Structure 1
Amino acid sequence: MNENPLYPELNQLFGVYLNEDCSYWGSTIEAIVGCYKGDRSTGSIKGILVEIESFWKADSYHLDAAFEEANGSQFDPKLWTHRTASFLDELKRLLNA
């Protein structure tokens, strides 16, 4: 994700955990998000959930395009068999687990 000051936790998740070196953290979204959760405070987890909702609300009519613009070629939910909406839903599910 391009560094966006509105989304510091999403920047962290995509910049450190869900990047080209994601296999260091695991081979599934569940494992990778689990590592992220283990390294972050409860406040950070709450923060990323707010950021996901904010991102979604800000760009709900063109979510795929907004996500692609924010991430460029650094991350594509299709690689994990998701569209942007289902990927964000999956992140919220895993972060709330």
Structure 2
Amino acid sequence: MHKRYPELGQLIGGYFHEDYDLFGDNFGEVMDAYIEGSSPDDRAQVLKEIERFQTDNAGQLEAAYRKEFIDHIDLSLWGFTYTSFLEEIKV
């Protein structure tokens, strides 16, 4: 599905979707669920993929995010921009 960013795609698509509340009531709880359910290697790969995604899409981050990951939730409702969301999910 997300060939270039598979672990990042798993985090976003698997945890931050319309049913995110299965994992928690807020951003922190959802991230805690991801951390609990993932390995240190997975989390290290997410970090690498976020950094690569940011570099690959400098100047067009929002459009690239929407194209690559689709908006499953409205990040602004949680007080995030696309840039701040990616920074916040670095684990």
State the TM-score, normalizing by the size of structure 2: 0.90
Q: 2:31 aligns with which of 27, 30, 33?
A: 33
Consecutive unaligned residues of structure 2, counting only runs of 5 or more, are: none
Consecutive unaligned residues of structure 1, counting only runs of 5 or more, are: none
Aligned Cα root-mean-square deviation (Å): 1.3
Q: Report how many aligned residue pairs link the two structures.
A: 91
Q: 2:5 aligns with which of 7, 16, 29?
A: 7
Question: 3-state SS of the aligned residue for 2:8?
Answer: helix
Q: Measure the CA separation in 1 of the matches of 2:64 and 2:46.
A: 17
Report the counterpart of residue 91 of structure 1 in structure 2. 89
Contact 1:52–1:88 (CA under 8 A) maintained in structure 2: yes
Identity of aligned residues (%): 32
Q: Which has the higher helix share?
A: 1
Which range is displaced more, 68-77 or 83-92? 68-77
Any residues of structure 2 matched to 1:25-64 within 5 Å, and which?
25-64=23-62
| Deviation digits for residues 48-81 of structure 1 (CA, Å, limit 9, x no counterpart) | 0001001000001111111111233424422321
Q: Measure the CA separation in 1 of the matches of 2:7 and 2:77.
A: 21
Question: 3-state SS of the aligned residue for 1:60?
Answer: coil
Q: Measure the CA separation in 2 of the matches of 1:41 and 1:73.
A: 25
State the TM-score, normalizing by the size of structure 1: 0.85
Q: Measure the CA separation in 2 of the matches of 1:53 and 1:47.
A: 10
